[in-house]
Amino acid sequence: MALSCKLDQERTEGKTVGFVPTMGALHSGHEALLDLCKKENPVSVCSIFVNPAQFNNTSDYSLYPKTIEKDMACLLDAGCDILFMPEKEEMYGDGYAPKHYDLGHLETILEGQHRPGHFQGVCQAVDRLLTIVVPQTLYLGQKDYQQCMVIKKLLTLTGREHIKIQIVPTKREESGLAMSSRNLRLNPEQRKKAVVLYETLSFFKANMDTMPVTYLKQKGMDFLKSSGFSVDYVEIADVSDLSIVTEIGSKKVVALIAASLSDVRLIDNMLLN
Ligand code: AMP
């Protein structure tokens, strides 16, 4: 039975469908999303699709880790009801016409600025996946803070405000390193160095009341560079719209970092207050 028929049937029986979209190489961060999804829905769907449309760098795409056997075992273990693993043709095959999504300033700042076309690609894939899965709730990770905002915007742009978004806090290694599929591309020495992203964010949180934003950001740059990272950005932004702040005052803010060690690009963020 095709996935959409099976899910139609479940919905007719009054069951809610929760959806966890991923690119595979699953880790405990993905599992945390799935755990909440399972808790809240009788039907949990996880997708694995390494979406070519969202990679602005071809080697990043071809080197993206693939651990399908392990992923399947992990999903079975976690009690995921349905794994959806579409081929590129099913997503973008005959008759597919890519849309342009008006994402406003989200597309020109932070990840949008440093990865041209990335969020259009994310929207293309998520739009297609939502059309097929038609979930009641979508489970996303805070790890990709800006992506969560983009997907919220996508729901508005495509008339899907009825879909609830649940944002799950970032799962970290004991060292503080945010779990990420890309961590598989780090050797043990690089993995140790990568903790500097978390340390920098923690430094911001500990010192935001006493140190000015420009000083914090400069310190952050220094920490990252002295650990061998090349830095795309270190920013402190308003949680509600990601506008960059120069003074914190009473604003609720999030610190965000994107930096590469060798050719492995990592991102992380932390709510500061
Ligand atoms: P990805 O497979 O990296 O595209 O991620 C799929 C989903 O898992 C996205 O909603 C991510 O934000 C989320 N995710 C990735 N890493 C983590 C993490 N360390 N903690 C929580 N969620 C995560």
pLDDT digits (tens, 9 = 90+) for 51-101: 999 999 999 999 999 999 999 999 999 999 999 999 999 999 999 999 999
Mean predicted confidence (pLDDT) in 212-240 = 98
Q: Residue 215, SS3?
A: helix
Q: How far apart are CA 265 and CA 217, in angstroms?
A: 19
Pocket test for ligand 1, best of 20, 23, 26, 33 (most atoms within 8 A of CB): 33
The contacts of residue 47 (CB under 8 Å, 6+ apart) are 19, 20, 21, 22, 83, 84, 85, 86, 129, 133
Q: How much is the average pLDDT of 266-273?
A: 98
Candidate of 19, 20, 22, 71 to mutate for ligand 1, largest count of ligand atoms within 8 Å of Cβ: 22
Rounded distance between C-alpha atoms, residue 237 and residue 240, angstroms: 9
Mean pLDDT, residues 41-56 taken together: 97
**Pocket around ligand 1: residues whose beta carbon is below 6 Å from it?**
22-23, 29-30, 32-33, 140-141, 143-144, 168, 170-171, 178-181
Partners of 266 in the β-ladder: 259
Comparing CA positions, the residue from 144, 115, 107 lying closest to residue 53 is: 115
- Assess whether pLDDT exceeds 80 at residue 18: yes
For residue 33, give the ligand 1 atom closest to its CA.
Answer: 22
Q: Both tokens of residue 69?
A: 């056997």
Query: What is the Å distance from ligand 1's center to 159 Cα?
Result: 24
Axis-axis angle for helices 118-133, 145-157 (nearest 10): 60
State which ligand 1 atom lies nearest to the alpha carbon of 170: 20
Q: Which residue has the tokens 């090349």?
A: 230
Q: What percent of the chain has pLDDT over 70?
A: 100
Give the neighbor-by-neighbor strand order of the sheet with 164-168.
82-84, 43-48, 17-22, 137-141, 164-168
CB within 8 Å of 249: residues ≥ 6 apart: none
Q: Are strands 164-168 and 137-141 parallel, antiparallel or unpaired?
A: parallel
For residues 43 and 20, what is the distance between their CA atoms, to the nearest angstrom?
11
Query: 269 - beta bridge partners?
Result: 256
Q: Are 235 and 217 in contact (CB under 8 A)?
A: yes
* pLDDT band, residue 1 (cuts 50/70/90): low
CA-to-CA distance for 51 and 37, rounded, in angstroms?
22
Average predicted confidence (pLDDT) for the chain:
97
What beta strand segments (E) does 3-136 contain? Answer: 17-22, 43-48, 82-84
Name residue 57's amino acid.
Answer: N
Share of the chain above pLDDT 90, in %: 99
Active site residue 30: yes
User: What is the pTM for the complete model shown?
Assistant: 0.97
